[in-house]
Amino acid sequence: MNAMRLLAIETSCDDTGAAVLRNGREVLSNIVSSQISIHQKYGGIVPELASRKHIESIVPIVTEALETAKVTLKEIDGIAVTQGPGLVGSLLIGLSFAKSVAFAAGLPIVGVNHIEAHLSAIFLEADPPPFPFVGLVVSGGHTSLFRMDGFGKYKRLGQTRDDAAGEAFDKVAKLLGLGYPGGPIIDELSKTGDPKAIRFPRPVLSRNSLDFSFSGLKTAVVNYVKGRPEPPGGYSEQLLKDIVSSFQEAVVDVLLRKTLQAAQHQGLKRIVLSGGVAANQRLRERMEEEASRQKLKVYLPSPSFCTDNAAMVGVVGYEYLKRGIRSPLSLNAFSNLPL
Ligand code: KG4
Ligand code: ZN
């Protein structure tokens, strides 16, 4: 069979992404247009502005993805598009664009679950894991643990009961006036902070639970800050670094503990990290350290495949299209699409 070239589109949140993949693994292009500059001044994503930016960006970004891959639409064999979960107004832009192209060009199309796409980002790397493995999806919207036995074969082992880990990073950064999105900023500042300076709580719920809860940790940071009124010149740079470093350490401790516990419960030796927070350097470092101590293997996608991108959507789309699975052109978007 000839190589299958797929156009993948991702618009679930605030990034407009388009990618071209050969045989679901080889990335010929992966273009992401970030909307950070638009949402920064609000300290978070404004859904209507996100939709409006997607509608401006979608054609230029897809065009750039095709040009970078050096292919024309005529050379594309199928389309993969994120169907949910996400912001419905954002999803609808990518979805209706993808459907229009599929209709006009007579191409098969398949709707992809965004969480499944995150979990599958690791297959874009040179040495992907064999199934089964434990997968942690940790992003701005999700913090969940899965057992993955194959494409389309998932068992959810745990999830957050309140905030996602990325959301906690973003809220703490906003509280301290550090900017948006908080994750990468805190990641960087923490390098010169003391992770042991403040002992924030490590919310683990019950001993055997693989669920997460980050809202109490966020409140602990709020209370800590309230207990130390800002001096006229603002907090010292070192205090800020110590706060974020100690907060990050608490998040990493919890993610580490639950993920290792999940591997142990399932009797699995392979762990895959995914989602924007999986780009966090401290999490990556400590997960590798701890796993090697426990003789487990950790698989880490490159940071650009951790944060939202269309290439990971293409991985999943390829797996389905190659099995003859396609979506009807009545395909709709679902903000809470489960996995
Ligand atoms: O996967 P993603 O791009 O979008 C969602 O599906 O949510 O994840 C975005 C989230 C944001 O909350 C952002 O602050 C966080 O991932 N993030 C990070 C890092 N890079 C992005 N969190 C911690 N450390 C990072 N280096
Ligand atoms: Zn995501």
Same fold, 5-120+306-322 and 129-300: yes
Tell me what the pLDDT averaged over the chain comes to: 95
User: 107 in ligand 1 pocket by Cβ < 6 Å?
Assistant: no
Instruction: Give CA–CA dist 63/87, Å, rounded.
Output: 24
Token duo for residue 140: 């701005």
pLDDT in the model for residue 195:
98
Residue to mutate (ligand 1; options 169, 187, 283; most atoms within 8 A of CB): 169
| Ligand 1 pocket check for 169: Cβ under 6 Å | yes
Question: How many Cβ atoms are within 10 Å of 329's Cβ, its own excluded?
Answer: 10
Q: What would the pLDDT profile of 146-201 be if each residue is shown by its tens digit?
A: 999 999 999 999 999 999 999 999 999 999 999 999 999 999 999 999 999 999 99
- Residue 229 confidence (pLDDT): 77
Distance CA 6, CA 24 (A): 7
To the question of pTM greater than 0.85 for the whole model, the response is yes
Distance CA 79, CA 61 (A): 15
Q: Which of 136, 139, 218 to mutate to test the pocket of ligand 1 (most atoms within 8 A of CB)?
A: 139
CA of 174: how far to CAs of 146, 182, 254, in Å? 30, 7, 22
How far the first Cα of the chain sits from its last, in Å, is: 31
Which protein residue has the closest C-alpha to ligand 1 atom 8? 276
Domain ranges of the chain: 5-120+306-322, 129-300
The pairing of strands 270-274 and 133-138 is parallel
Beta carbons within 10 angstroms of residue 59's beta carbon: 12
Q: Is 277 in the pocket of ligand 1 (CB under 6 A)?
A: yes
Residue 203 Cα, ligand 1 centroid: separation in angstroms? 20
User: How many Cα atoms within 13 Å fall on the side-chain side of residue 140?
Assistant: 21
Q: How many CB atoms lie within 10 A of CB 48?
A: 10
Superfamily for the 5-120+306-322 domain: ATPase, nucleotide binding domain (3.30.420.40)
Interior angle at CA 84, CA 80 and CA 89, nearest 5 = 105
> From ligand 1's centre to the CA of 144, what distance in Å?
14
| CATH 3.30.420.40 corresponds to the domain 129-300 | yes
pLDDT per residue as tens, the chain (339 positions): 579 999 999 999 989 999 999 999 999 999 999 888 888 888 888 999 999 999 999 999 999 999 999 999 999 999 999 999 999 999 999 999 999 999 999 999 999 999 999 999 999 999 999 999 999 999 999 999 999 999 999 999 999 999 999 999 999 999 999 999 999 999 999 999 999 999 999 988 888 899 999 999 999 999 999 888 777 777 889 999 999 999 999 999 999 999 999 999 999 999 999 999 999 999 999 999 999 999 999 999 999 999 999 999 999 999 999 999 999 999 999 999 999
Q: How far is the CA of 187 from the centre of ligand 1 (A)?
A: 11
Dist. CA 307 → ligand 1 center (Å): 6
Report CA(160)–ligand 1 centroid distance (Å): 15
